[in-house]
Chains A and B, each alone.
Chain A
Amino acid sequence: MTSTNNKVKVAFFDFASCEGCQLTIIDALQTHLDLLEMVEIVQFREAMTEKGEDYQIAFVEGSCTRECDEERLFKIRKQADLVVALGACAHTGGINALKNIQPSLQDVREYVYADKADWYETYPTRPISAVIDVNAFIPGCPIDRGEFVKVVKNVLLGKRPGIPDYPVCVECKLKENVCLLLEGKPCLGPVIRAGCDAICPTYGEGCEGCRGLIPNPNENAMKDVLDEAGLSIEEIMARFTMFNAYNAHQIQERETAEERQ
């Protein structure tokens, strides 16, 4: 997977997002300037003018929110050997998917653009894996700098990306944080994928779930625990949906479809 100068060519693309993940990568360069010895960045709109279309790894930030995004995604998929979903928006739909659980999309458009709503194309937010095949993902809103560097190294070595399958509590405990749930504050740490070094609990804020659920979450037990911490069912749902609304919406849709049958 190397080019003539022996460097892997990588490109960064952005869709509906705040571009915080791309910025985090720029931040990663503060301590890892030697990253540039290993990869050649051929496209990174946020930081450079050149636009190369010859790349092996595509990092895609942002969610797909309109039809014209799909075409761009197909093109990226066709060119890249490896497509990496970068950050929550691309990985789970992230914050953008909150619009999916609003009562109606038309209302959402009109609320913001009033009678001009029709000028603005939009459809329910989708993670990019709902549009194209994705080889790897780097979760988080924003991504974790260290984890990004680790994934790049692993990919260069031919290893799996190395995103943990265990929950945030593991990292939280190893950092010896005072557990927020035990202090009666809501935290999704027990069911959310680690890799952020439990940054939110470390800074006194319960996990909001930006990295998505672990592969086998015990959701019922989690609900009991949050209930015990004094959260109402609405509050529990709000916690779960903040970054995982796409997923929640999908489940809801499936359930209503089943009911109808």
Chain B
Amino acid sequence: MKESIYNPQLTQLASVEELTGLETLFTVKSPDGTLGHKPGQFVMVSALGIGEAPISISSSPSRSNGEFELCVRKVGNVTNALHNMKPGDTIGIRGPFGASFPIEKFRGKDVLFAPGGLGLAPLRSLINEVLDERDAYERVIILYGAKQRSELLFCDEVAEWLERDDVECFLTVDCEDTTDAWHAGKEFDCNIGVITTLFPDIDIDPENTVAATCGPPIMYRFVLQEMLKKGIPEDQIYLSLERRMKCGVGKCGHCQIESLYCCQDGPVFNYAEIKGFEEAL
């Protein structure tokens, strides 16, 4: 046994696209031609010599083409270093790791997505997977919230979702931008208020709905409440949680939620299974 599970595979950035002032989308060449990931999984990304960070795979397996996408927010050592990179630069990858969204549980159902902020990054993988096999699902509802318009991610795709007849997409921002700078989301029809304000207006068939949500820690409690209020059964709600992670393989202990390791047992959890864990939400 000579290979370390902590030694990353090297690969190159195919393209780099700034999404907002803070978030950039990196298209990465899959190290072995294909990453073989499932929606909801993440990779440990190395900026060699700087460190590693867990990042959700934002592209869907259905659109992989030997590449995958990472949507990264600039917050610290590794993410800053990534933001300074250009196409052709080398990064390290470990993974994909973690539990994915169980796509078979969504098939044939109405699906409800409720991403908040950067939470769209992991959900986008699932959303596009669903849209690429649109016929296999009933209704597709997307309730997407951000702090302000300039922080809306993937505006091209959001515009498409807004356009499509077979997608019910609603947007909300906590408040309008304070500056006038142009932003792709400027034109969108957009509600003002936190994400939960979108729920009352939608009509759903709870028993036939499977929901997925991801966002900042404080968002879960409120979104879950709305979903439960709508009558969606607990075991039909999936969420993706963030924790500090150093290894990604269930050992370093940082991501523990009581006896669970978020990196292995999660990051995608079924609400019915996780709700008994006091440290989870």
Contacts and interface: CB of A to CB of B under 8 A. Distances in A.
Interface residues of A, number: 4
A160 B49 contact: no
B82 to A, nearest CB: 11
Contacts of A158: 77, 80-81, 84
A257 interface: no
B76 A157 contact: no
A138 to B, nearest CB: 18
Nearest to B81: A158
A159 interface: yes
Interface in B11-65: 49-50
A232 to B, nearest CB: 41
Interface residues of B, number: 7
Given A159-B77, A160-B76, 11 more contacts: A157-B49, A157-B50, A157-B81, A158-B77, A158-B80, A158-B81, A158-B84, A159-B50, A159-B80, A159-B81, A160-B77
Contacts of A159: 50, 77, 80-81
B98 to A, nearest CB: 26
Main secondary structure of the interface of B (DSSP, over half): loop
Contacts, number: 13
Interface of A: 157-160
Interface in B81-128: 81, 84
Interface of B: 49-50, 76-77, 80-81, 84
A26 B68 CA distance: 48
A158 B84 CA distance: 10
Nearest to B76: A160
Contacts of A160: 76-77
B49 to A, nearest CB: 7
A159 B77 CA distance: 5
Contacts of B81: 157-159
A159 B51 CA distance: 10
Contacts of B50: 157, 159
Contacts of B77: 158-160
Nearest to A160: B77
* List of 5 A-B pairs having minimum Cβ-Cβ separation, nearest first: A159-B77, A158-B80, A157-B50, A160-B77, A159-B50
Contacts of B84: 158
B179 to A, nearest CB: 26
Contacts of B49: 157
Contacts of B80: 158-159
